[in-house]
Structure 1
Amino acid sequence: MKVAFPVVSLSLLLLSGCSNYTFHSNLDKDEINNYFKPSQVTLYENRMPDAPYTALGMIEGTDCQIDENASPASVANARTDARRKAADKNANGIIMQKCAAIPEPAEGCFTRTLCIGQAIKVSGQ
């Protein structure tokens, strides 16, 4: 019984200290939706959608290695950029045509990757 009282007292003291706790984050609450945009767009690579769809326009996604010590440009990041741009057109899918490393990088890029695809709106999704 003597051990239980200090444990309960300590627990109550710790819990009461949390009552005025506020959480601060470096995430921008207005930009959090942009973070999840790519997940709303299905990537069709080497296959076509099973349902009818409407073409919304061509999409280009890029990735750029901005300095020598940064990660090299990747196809995965370029595809994600393309999916984000497709979501901006209210697409729920993208038919990826081609992804490739660009042999002559753009100004300010050590390496660059480009993906091109067709933004689509698939019926029933």
Structure 2
Amino acid sequence: MAKQSKRKGKSTVGNRLFIEEEKTQMDHGKTLGGMFETFFRANGLEGLRPRTLKEHRVTFKYFFSFLEKKYPDIKYADEVTTEIIRDYVYYMSKESCQFKTDKKGLSPFTINIRLRTLKCFFKISL
């Protein structure tokens, strides 16, 4: 038999929203920029280090610039599909330039770091 909680009432923690989120949910869906700002503030409140937060911002800058180049019509998070993420991985591995070199393609290590951040973002935000 499952152990029952002594707490009475309805659980509301999972249902809480920031004011900006409530406004965007009334529209088509959550905008990517708005979702990122919510994600960024939540990570800051969780106590992530300033360097980690800075790296999150840089990672999303790369992802948003990719979307602006290849998929300029995408403005909302629910429009990002698995196929778009795969295209982003291909772009990073074959087309993107490495830092301070003309060599095409990022290292697998860099790609995995950027994907890890995106996974956390979409897992929490959607």
| TM-score normalised over the length of structure 1 | 0.24
Q: Which has the larger radius of gyration?
A: 1
| TM-score normalised over the length of structure 2 | 0.24
The answer to which structure has the higher strand fraction is: 1
Structure number with the bigger relative contact order (C-alpha 8 A, sep ≥ 6) is: 1
